[in-house]
Chains A and B, each alone.
Chain A
């Protein structure tokens, strides 16, 4: 084989390459920072504190720079025509916008960790490296056009997230979350990879397009296709937390450090849905009639169970976990519809969801006490009097999550539901609309608690430039996307698969 083939179109992977090089630089810098104090053992203990502060600031700053460079690389590729690399990765609009959503989640994750991390763990170099590695895996999910690449991408971000969710080692809850996530995640990956193996057996290739060609021409082993799809669904269902594969979601969201939860909830969802859409719509469109019905049932179940369970949660993190299950059901409607318009609607939904969900978790970070790892609903009682700006931002996020016009969440739901109706899935959309009505109850409960309850005690508030910046940017973005949806839908139009 001609080796020059290896470098043809390698630019497709430029954003990932930038991040991979960045991780190495970051780890080197971390080692350099750790080695330094040992040279001067005379240094007094109390003088060490500001030094650690400085190195944490340096590492988080460097991480943001690396992620921004990757954003630049993604935008650079966007200006060029779509290309494919060795039948394994592609740089079309869908892949690029999924990448940008993941990078957005990563940058917010770093900003939220900036002041949170030093309180729980001093190894911030490892933390930020793992976060970037998770971003690499997530970005590859939407880019992959090959089952092998897809599996590797899934495992890269899963393994990084297992460690990140257990990063608060002193907390039994954090370790327990990591343990549950790991055991269930590895179990689900086994199903996922078995499904990929059977699809490879059915289509004779790991490449999506070639699988589609073999299957639609009636060749291959048709008897392996349906078991393959079913097993693949288990794997994806676990990652995007569809009912009945959602049992890990609340536990992990609650136990993991809150910035990790914020990053994970948005990043995993965007990445896994991007991979899910691409497999179903490029490798298996010839079997649409079979899988669409199955997914429609899963979507209806996911929305209903997610919303009904969220109603009775007393922990805000758990409530948001079940709400994310319900949102996965909404996005799944777009995949059931299976049109190009539906997949760009799903991208818009994920884009809006990134801002509103990370914003909500950022407010939780602001109200959390160190080492608590969980915020009860009562913490929000009466905070509007003490912190009016924070309460207003939280109200914006909650209203947007419930789908109240004219905020970003409304247009996400509107576009997905519209695509569902146009593809003839009216009954599913009706269930979705009814579920939105249910969900308004538990989102509004937080708003009511903030504005109409008496404060329980002296509430504390964490501050920090990164935190305040994230809350502000997310709130402004939710409002602006809501007021000017045309700007963004125009940008995302034609990006479907």
Chain B
């Protein structure tokens, strides 16, 4: 059986890759995908911890996160499309009407 700590480290690595992606990439869609990756790394962490504790709360939490992620996709893509109509671009460097 693989130790829980291995899963936690893998989860942390995926989370870090996702977070780096959000900060480095300039395409709003890719940023969005990176956020989804962060959420999924949390799911992995939760499942591993639920196995260690032997209770179901962690697994229920995972289902909730999946449902929320789906809702987030619906809202997020709608906002992205609305933004493309105004900006003709999904590069976040061009989102600069509001500053200071």
Contact = CB atoms under 8 A, between A and B. Distances in A.
Decide whether A and B assemble into one complex: yes
A172 interface: yes
Contacts, number: 120
Contacts of B92: 183
B35 A190 contact: yes
7 contacts: A159-B71, A159-B72, A179-B28, A186-B76, A193-B39, A194-B15, A196-B61
Contacts of B57: 148, 200, 205-206
B65 to A, nearest CB: 6
B53 A204 contact: yes
A182 B95 contact: no
Of all A-B residue pairs in the complex, the 5 with the closest CB atoms, nearest first, are A190-B38, A201-B49, A251-B98, A172-B86, A204-B53
Nearest to B38: A190
A148 B95 contact: no
Given A190-B18, A200-B57, A155 B46 contact: no
Contacts of A187: 19, 22, 35, 38
A148 B45 CA distance: 15
Contacts of B42: 190, 193-194, 197
Given A190-B18, A200-B49, A206-B61, A255 B98 contact: yes
Contacts of A155: 68, 71-72
Nearest to B92: A183
A27 interface: no
Nearest to B46: A197
A464 B80 CA distance: 34
Interface string B30-57: 0110010011011001100100110101
A85 interface: no
B79 interface: yes
A324 to B, nearest CB: 16
B45 A179 contact: no
The A interface, classified by DSSP as helix, strand, loop or mixed, is: helix
A68 interface: no
Interface string A164-193: 001001001101111110110011011001
A152 B68 contact: yes
A456 B83 CA distance: 34
B32 A183 contact: yes
A173 B92 CA distance: 14
A254 interface: yes
Interface residues of B, number: 44
Contacts of A176: 83, 86, 95, 97-98
A322 to B, nearest CB: 10
A177 B100 CA distance: 13
Most chain-A Cβ atoms within 10 A of its Cβ — which of B32, B61, B78?
B61
Interface string A458-497: 0000000000000000000000000000000000000000
Nearest to A195: B42
Contacts of B9: none
B13 interface: no
Given A173-B97, A187-B35, 7 more contacts: A148-B64, A151-B61, A155-B72, A178-B83, A183-B92, A194-B15, A201-B58
Contacts of B78: 163
Nearest to B76: A182
Given A197-B61, A204-B55, A173 B38 contact: no
A136 interface: no
B38 A175 contact: no
Given A173-B98, A194-B38, A194-B45, A186 B72 contact: yes
Contacts of B83: 175-176, 178-179
